[in-house]
Amino acid sequence: MKQPIKILQVEDLETDADLINRELLKSKLNFERLWVSDKNAFEKALNDYSPDIILCDHSLPSFTSLDALQILKATGKRIPFIVISGTVSEEFVVNMMKEGVDDYIIKDRLQRLSSAITNTLAKAGSEKEKQRHTELLIKSEANLRAIFNNTDLSFILIDKQFKIISFNHVAEQFFKYQYNSKIAEGLEFINVIHESRREFVGGILNSVVEGKKADYEISIEKPANITLWFALKISPIMSDGKQILGVLISIENITDRKNTELEKERMTTEIIQHNKNLEQFAYIISHNLRSPVANIIGLSNMIQNMPGLNKADLQRCIDGLALSANKLDDTIIDLNYILQIRSDINEQKEIIKLNNIVRDISSGISLLINQEKAFINTHFSEADEFYSIKSYVHSIFYNLITNSIKYRHPLRDPVIEIKSKTEPGKFILIFKDNGLGINLNAHKEKVFGLYKKFHSNTDGKGMGLYLVKTQVEMLGGTIDVKSEPNQWTEFTIQFFIPTINN
C-alpha cells in the first residue's frame, strides 16, 4: 500500500482550512494533512513534518505566499507549492509561476484541487527522477573521465567511420613519441598511424564494426637497437539494442613483460643447449679417453704377464704405450682447452672493429695466405662494429678463415667473403668460401661436432667448427650452415642484441 501524501496546508482562517479539507476528503487521494497558520509554524513544519506538497493561501496576516515560497527556497528543498487564494489578476498568476509556484487554485474552484495535486506530484516525481539520472550520469562520467585520464593505458574512442571522438593524455603521448604524429578529435584514425600498418589496422577495424574483437601485439623499433612492445585491444561499443556505436582502442606498453618472456625463452634455450653440451662432453670423455686407456691397460698387462718377451716385442709394447699416452694427453689438452673457453665468458666486453680483427688474423697467417693464394674480401659498410668479447670474436673469425683455406678446392684459389649486417634486434655475420663444401644430406647433424672431419685428405683434428659453435652460443648467438659439395660453404651467425626499455 502506498504511503499517504503528506500535505502541509498554510491558511489563517479555520473555515477556509476546513473547506479545503472537505474538498480533499471528497477526492480519492490517500493523504494526511498538517494545518499551520503563521510563519513560525510553517518554518517548523518544513523541518519536522517534511511534507510532500504545500497548499498555501496567498494573503496571510503576517506573510504572503510569496514569502512562504522564499522561505522554502532558502531551505534548499524542492517541495511542490500550490497557491490557493481568491480572485487575482492574470499578471499576478504569471509572476507567481515565474517565481516557482507549481500551480494556482481559486478558492471558488476547489474541484480542480485533487487533479492539481496529482499532476503536480507526478511532474515533481518525473523531474526528481530526471535529476537523479542526471546526477548519476554526471558522477559516472566523472568516474570514467578520472579512469580515462589517470591510467597507464592509451585509450582512443572512434566512431563507425573511424573518426576520432575522444582520447586520453597517454594516447596523445603514445602517438607523439612512437609515431611522431598528432591526434585530434575529428581526424581519421587510420591517418595518424604509421603508413606501413594502415592496411592491417583497417582490416581489423572493419571486422570490429561487425561486432568482433581484436587482440594483438606490435613492436616498434627505436634508435640504438631499442625495441618497444605494445598490446592492443580493439573492441566494439554497443548499445543496449546491440547496435555498433563506435570502437574503443586500448594500447598497453608491455615492453618489460615481453623482455622478461624473451629472457625466459633465452635462458630455457641456454639450459637445453647446456644439457646437450654436457651430454656431448660426457660422450667425448667416454669415447675418446676409453680407447687410449684400453690400449695402455692392454699393453701394460702384456708386459706384466709375459716376462719372456723378446727385446723387439718389448720395444713395440713400449712404443704402443707411448703412442696411447700421447693420444690420451692430446685429448685431455683438448678438453681442458674447451673448458677454458667456457670459463672465459666473464671477460670484459668492448667495441670491436671488424676490419681490425680481419687485419690482425691476416697478418698472423700471412704465410698461409700467400702460400695458398687466398683472397679475403670484407663487406662491413653496413655494420663495422660489434660490442662483444674480443677474444671470442677473434677466435670465431680465425677458425672460419683458416677452415676455408684448409678445405680449399684443389682446382681454384680460395676466396673468402665476409659480410656484416643488422636487422631489428640482431647483428649478423656471413662467411662464404668457394672450397670443397660439405655434404649436408649426410653430415648436417655432425657439422659442429667435436673431432668431426668430412674430408680425409686434409690435416686437422675436427675441433674448429665445434669451437666456433661453442663460442657463438656462449655469446648468446646462433650459427647455421649451407653448402654445395665441391662448390661453396656459407656460415651465418646471428647475435641477438638485448632490447632496452626507455
Q: Poorest-confidence range of 38-52, 230-244, 407-421?
A: 230-244
By the 8 A CB rule, do 254 and 217 touch? yes
Are the folds of 151-253 and 259-343 the same?
no
pTM: 0.43
Query: Of 2, 113, 135, 136, whose CA–CA distance to 55 is shortest?
Result: 113
Task: Decide if pLDDT at 429 tops 70.
Answer: yes
CA separation, residue 111 to residues 5, 18, 62, 93 (Å): 18, 14, 28, 19
Per-residue confidence (pLDDT) for residue 344, from 0 to 100: 53
Q: Report the topology of domain 344-502.
A: Heat Shock Protein 90 (3.30.565)
Angle at CA 155, nearest 5°, toward 149 and 156? 120
Judge: domain 5-142, CATH 3.40.50.2300. Answer: yes
**What one-character DSSP code corresponds to residue 190?**
G
Judge: domain 151-253, CATH 3.30.565.10. Answer: no
pLDDT, one tens digit per residue, over 111-143 is: 888 888 888 888 887 777 776 765 565 565 555
Task: Decide if pLDDT at 493 tops 60.
Answer: yes
Task: Decide if pLDDT at 350 tops 70.
Answer: yes
pLDDT, one tens digit per residue, over 367-414 is: 889 999 999 999 999 888 888 888 888 889 988 998 899 888 989 999
149-156 long-range contacts (CB < 8 A, ≥24 apart) are 152/252, 152/253, 153/250, 153/251, 153/252, 154/249, 154/250, 154/251, 154/252, 155/248, 155/249, 155/250, 156/183, 156/189, 156/248, 156/249, 156/251
Q: What is the mean pLDDT of residues 160-173?
A: 85
Percent of the chain with pLDDT over 90: 15
Q: What is the mean pLDDT of residues 247-265?
A: 86
Per-residue confidence (pLDDT) for residue 499, from 0 to 100: 43
The residues spanned by each domain of the chain are 5-142, 151-253, 259-343, 344-502
Per-residue confidence (pLDDT) for residue 401, from 0 to 100: 93
Q: What is the mean pLDDT of residues 264-291?
A: 68
pLDDT, one tens digit per residue, over 167-198 is: 888 888 888 877 778 888 888 888 888 787 88
Q: Poorest-confidence range of 240-244, 251-255, 487-491?
A: 240-244
Task: Decide if pLDDT at 16 tops 80.
Answer: yes
Looking at every residue in the chain, the average pLDDT score rounds to 81
**What one-character DSSP code corresponds to residue 187?**
S
482: pLDDT confidence band, cut at 50, 70 and 90?
very high
Q: Residue 310: what residue type? A: N
Task: Decide if pLDDT at 455 tops 70.
Answer: no
The larger pLDDT score, comparing residue 307 to residue 86, is at: 86
**CATH number of the domain at 259-343, please?**
1.10.287
Q: Is 59 helix (H, G, I), strand (E, B) or coil?
A: strand
Per-residue confidence (pLDDT) for residue 452, from 0 to 100: 60
107: pLDDT confidence band, cut at 50, 70 and 90?
confident
210: pLDDT confidence band, cut at 50, 70 and 90?
confident
pLDDT, one tens digit per residue, over 430-448 is: 999 999 888 888 767 777 7
Percent of the chain with pLDDT over 70: 82
E strand or H helix at 339, and its extent? helix 311-343
Q: The dihedral of CA 88, 94, 97, 102: what is its sign?
A: positive
